[in-house]
Every structure is written in structure tokens, then in C-alpha cells.
Amino acid sequence: MPEVTKLIHKYLRHDKKFPHVWCPGCGIGIMLGALIRAIDRIGYEKDEIVLVSGIGCSGRLPVYVDFNTLHTTHGRALTFATGIKLAKPSLKVIVIMGDGDAVAIGGNHFIHAARRNIDVTAIILNNSIYGMTGGQNSPTTPYGMRSTTTTYSNIEQSFRISELAVTAGAVFVGRGTVYHAKLLDSLMEKAFLKQGFSVVEVIAHCHTQYGRQNRLGSAVEMMQWQRDHAIPVEKSLKMKSEELEDKILIGVLVDKELPVYQDEYEKIRDRARAAMEK
Amino acid sequence: MVEGALRAGCRFFAGYPITPATEISEVLSVKLPRVNGTFIQMEDEIASIGAVIGASLAGVKAMTATSGPGFSLMQENLGFAVIAEIPCVIVNVMRGGPSTGLPTFPAQGDVMQARWGTHGDHPIIVLSASTVRECYDMTVRAFNLSEKFRTPVILLIDEVIAHMREKIVFLENEEKEIFNRVKPTMPPEWYIPYENTPSGVPPMANFGEGYRYHVTGLTHDIRGFPTLRQDEIGPFINRLHRKISAHFSEIQSAEYFQTEDAEITLIAYGCVARSAKRAVIEAREKGLRVGLLKLITLWPFMRIAVEKVIQTSKVLIVPEMNMGQISREVKRVSRGMARVFTLNKVDGTIITPSEIFNRIREVI
């Protein structure tokens, strides 16, 4: 068994609920691999990791890994994560969401978690579609594309998740694709180590739903598209805006410092106790 | 309620401002940080109950407080707390509805919603209060029951009681029994998080204490993993119900006022129980044998209390500030052995003692 496989097996609940639910060729496995490698490299104990998810293909991820795992309601993963983190700040809380979770039903929670600077990492698998329910239009389905609820074409503009996170105040925002697996490793590592609300957007393909309905080919062809359309942030600075129109910026979009909620709240506790003693 | 929550060991509150429940948030935002607790104002009520469930999973007793519109938003995650068996307390200060309704006026229109608001077949515990002292006691009790039975407990208060100022007396060295969730004592590899124990309540491991397990809103097997097997789904749902139904005597409570010889019994709860008590006193002065059954536990419905009063009373009157929610239950459990009359009021004002007294006059 290659070293990298051995490492992943160390973290899987492989004697429990396999085989998994994902389609052959799905990008979620690559994302999970990156997540495990980043956790292993930092050296977290399994007991200190809490993995929280919402609903959908990505929502099934926590069940396969040997951490404290929580599979919540659709879009609400960040709210549960907020409660866990504030109740027990020693835990490392990682939230896995899909695009529907993060910016449709849970959009409000997403921008507020970023604004508050809750110390959790949000990993968002963006595959431009609702996969598990059978390929319906999502807030990240590009304009003009097809889904089972936009059979004549999608007339809505799509969200750019990372840019939304930056605007909402996230202190770390990184974007990668499942083609760029090594970049994902490093983005996740940086995000986990960051104090405050960190976001990693993972561009993935859903060849089963999105790919089939839009004739984009197999998983391999869709990953080749990712390769051809991803531009590192540094390189993009030297490019003209028209050249970047159909491109995805990958890399670190923002990395800044802001007061973290739980640290600020500790000061509130000090003030409250001081006020009581007076 | 704030004092009751703190006494019960509540150290986490997440809420969203809403009339007439906001005072609970305001006071806890001052008091919780003093005792090393956490208060957070969330972006909405959905987020509030989510954070409360998360905090409870991490081992901290947690509560939220809201009113009708917010309570409606909480229903989905309330069901999550039921299926994943996460202890937590939800206060609903009832106001007039439906929709935005009457934010500053009282009502008792959420009794059935508290029972059936979240989807799916589920058990629930709902407590009420009709005095300020009872608000304190029932908040402590709500936490105790939630911890003991690993279930969300709803405290249904009406606007009148929530905004009432009343002297309450705490006896010196008053002892209150505080119940904390039973934690697993076995080694982690032996821990079965949703085991079918004799009481129906499995021990609960908090996140980060060495018992790594899976918590999900999907129907799950005894290890917490999603299941589609008939032989696992049925026993699981049955256990959820059994853990409540096997412990009715611990969960249910009511107060009986002059019911021993009563020919007519009033059945009331919340602020209406106060008017009803006054009406009983007035009726007794006029020589009418009237009593009051004050319901404290609303759900599971206290069949045993109704069966007790219909031994003497062949007439039951259920005054309530809705179109008849508890009266349906009274009719159901009295099985025709007593005539059940209603007194319903939904105009944003309380039911007065004289209105109840007049109703007594009408039905005899």
C-alpha cells in the first residue's frame, strides 16, 4: 500500500459504513484526501477535530472519517459549528458545505459567520449543481447553463463564493480545484492554522449531473477544463480583465488579521466580572 | 426564567430579538459572561437553535428564547435535536398569531405547534407556567428533563406571565435538584452512542472527550450511522417514544385546586389558570362546587389528571386563549364520560375571572 493511502486509512472509519455514496470519478474524494493530509501534517489529535457538515453529497463526508462528526440540517452547519466552538474553544471545528448549503439556504449564516470572525474553517465544495437531489439549478450554476430545473437555460447570475467570503470579512479565503490537489493541501493547512473564519472554496465537477446535462464530458474532461481555466492569483495580476473573463482565480485571495470572536468574548467576560465586583 | 436557567447550570444562550421574549436575551447577555458562560446574538432563530444544539453537543447546557414567528423558524432544527437526542431548552413566549399577529398581546395559540411543529412522528416535552415563581421552577425542571431524557424541552409561556412582576420568595438554603446528563463510563471502543438501554436513554458523550462518534439527523443505527434497514429504523423510532412514554410520572405534573368534591372542573394553564382560580373562588362563594385542574406539563398530555377529575366532575370547562387546542385533548381522553365545554378567546386580551364564571353559569 502506498504511503499516501496508508495515511488516509489511518483516519477512515473503514470498518464501518463503506462503500461510500459518491459516484465514481467524483471530486469529493480528492477534497477529503487533501483535508486528511492537511490535518495529519499539522498533527491534530483525532479527538480535537470536529467535522460538521450540512446536507447533500458533501454532507455525507464526515461519516467516513474518525473524528467527532456531525451531520446537521441543510445550510445550518455553520450555526452548529458556532455553538460547538464557543462552548469548547479547544476543539478545532471544520465545516464542510456544498454550494447549496453555503450560499443558497445557508447564505445568511455564511456571511454572518464571516462577519463575526468565528474561529472555524469552512470548506465549500462548489460543483455548480445540486447533485444528490438529481441536478437542479444552484446559486453557482453559471448563466446560460442547464439543470433539471433550468432545462431551457439558467437566467440567473451566479455567486462567486470566495469573493463573497472576502466581502463578508473572512480573514482567510483560498480557492482551489480538485485538479490542483496539492494546492488544496496547502490551502487547507493554511486555513486550519488561521485564527478566525477561514474559507477554502473547492471547485469540483459533477459529471453525473452537471456534466451530463451540459454535455461537458467525463470526469477527466471536466478536470481538464479546471486545469485550463484556473489562473493563480499572482499571475492574474498581470493579465487583462477580458482575458480573465472565463477564468477561475486559484490560490490565496485574502489573508489578514482581525479580532477573533472567542478572544473578544473573553474580554467581555472580564468586563462583566469587573462590573459585578464594583 | 433567567435565574432558573442559571441555577440549572445553563451556560450558553443564543437568540434573536423578538417581542415579547427579548428580555430573556438582554438579561442573559449581562449575566452569562459573569459566570464564564456565553451569550451570542445570532442572525436569526434558525441559527440560534443551531448554535444551542452545537453548544450542548460540546457539553454545555444551552437555551434559546423566542416567540411565535421565531418558534416557527426553529422547527426544523428542533426535530434535529429530537432525532439526535441533544438536550436543550427552548422558551416560546406566546403572542397572538398567525404570522406577525399581535407582537405585544398574549395568546396560547402555539400549544399544538409545540407538540407537532416539527415534521415526523416524534415525542416532545412541553411545560407551562402561570406564576413568576413557576417560571423559575419550570426552567430548572426543563433543563433537568432535557438532560435526563436527552430531548429538547419547550417552555411555553404566554406574554402575560412573561411580563408579570410578582414577588417570589426563595427559602434560605433552598435546595434544587440539578440533573446532569449521564456520560459513558466504558472505554471509547465499547461505547454505543445510541444503544437501546433499559430506560431508553443512552449515555451521552460530549464532543472532545475521547468518544469519537457520528451525530446525524438521518435515521441512524445504534452506532449513530445512517441506516435504511427496517430492523433498525423501527426499534430506533420506538425507543425515542418509549424513553418519554415510560417516564410519564416523572415528566407530567399538574395542580389540583378544590377538585376533591367538584362537580364542575375548569382545566386551564398559563395566565388563564390564574383567572380560573379566581373564578373557582367566586363560584364556591356562591355555593357552586367548582374546582380547577391546572396543567403544568402540556405535552405529553396528562390523561391521568383528566381521568382523576372526571371521577367527580361530569362537566369540564376548558378556557384557553386559542380556538380550542387543549380542549380537544380533554375531549379525547375523557371519552364521553364528562361533558366538555370550551371558552375560547382570541382577541389579544386575557380571559377574565368573570368571563369564566359566566361560562360556568351558562353550562349548568
The CATH number of residue A92's host domain is 3.40.50.970
Between helix B271-285 and helix B353-363 the angle, nearest 10°, is 60
DSSP B258: S
Q: Whole-model pTM above 0.80?
A: yes
Question: Contact A87/B226, CB-based, under 8 Å?
Answer: no
Using a CB–CB cutoff of 8 Å, tell me whether A87 touches chain B: yes
Q: State which residues form the domain around A19.
A: 3-277
Q: Containing H/E element for B5?
A: helix B2-8
Cβ atoms of residues B54 and A83 within 8 Å = yes
Q: Which residue does chain B place closest to A63, by CA atoms?
A: B214
Q: How many domains does one find in chain A?
A: 1
A82 interaction partners in chain B (CB closer than 8 Å) = 14, 40, 42, 47, 50-51, 54
pLDDT band at B225; cut points 50, 70, 90: very high
Instruction: Give residue A14's pLDDT.
Output: 77
B48 interaction partners in chain A (CB closer than 8 Å) = 79
B52 interaction partners in chain A (CB closer than 8 Å) = 83
A268 interaction partners in chain B (CB closer than 8 Å) = 33
Question: Contact A112/B214, CB-based, under 8 Å?
Answer: no
Instruction: Give residue B354's pLDDT.
Output: 97
Q: Has residue A15 got a pLDDT over 80?
A: no
Q: For A65-83, how does the pLDDT look when each residue is reduced to its tens digit (9 = 90+)?
A: 999 999 999 999 999 999 9
d(CA B156, CA B164): 15
Judged by CB atoms within 8 Å, which residues 6-25 of A form the interface with B? 16-17
Residue ranges of domains in chain B, CATH in brackets: 2-162 (3.40.50.970), 255-363 (3.40.50.920)
Residue in B30, B54, B218 nearest the CB of A80:
B54
Share in percent of chain A as helix, strand, coil (round to 5): 45, 20, 40
| Å between A261 CA and nearest CA of chain B | 10
Angle (nearest 5°) at CA B228 between B227 and B234:
90
pLDDT band at A278; cut points 50, 70, 90: confident
Residue in B59, B217, B226 nearest the CB of A87:
B59
ipTM above 0.95, yes or no: yes
pLDDT band at B173; cut points 50, 70, 90: confident
Q: Has residue B56 got a pLDDT over 90?
A: yes
Cβ atoms of residues B274 and B130 within 8 Å = yes
Grid cell digits, residue A71: 451531520
Cβ atoms of residues B120 and B278 within 8 Å = no
Instruction: Give residue A120's pLDDT.
Output: 98
Question: What integer is the mean pLDDT of B160-169?
Answer: 92
DSSP A211: I
| Å between B48 CA and nearest CA of chain A | 7
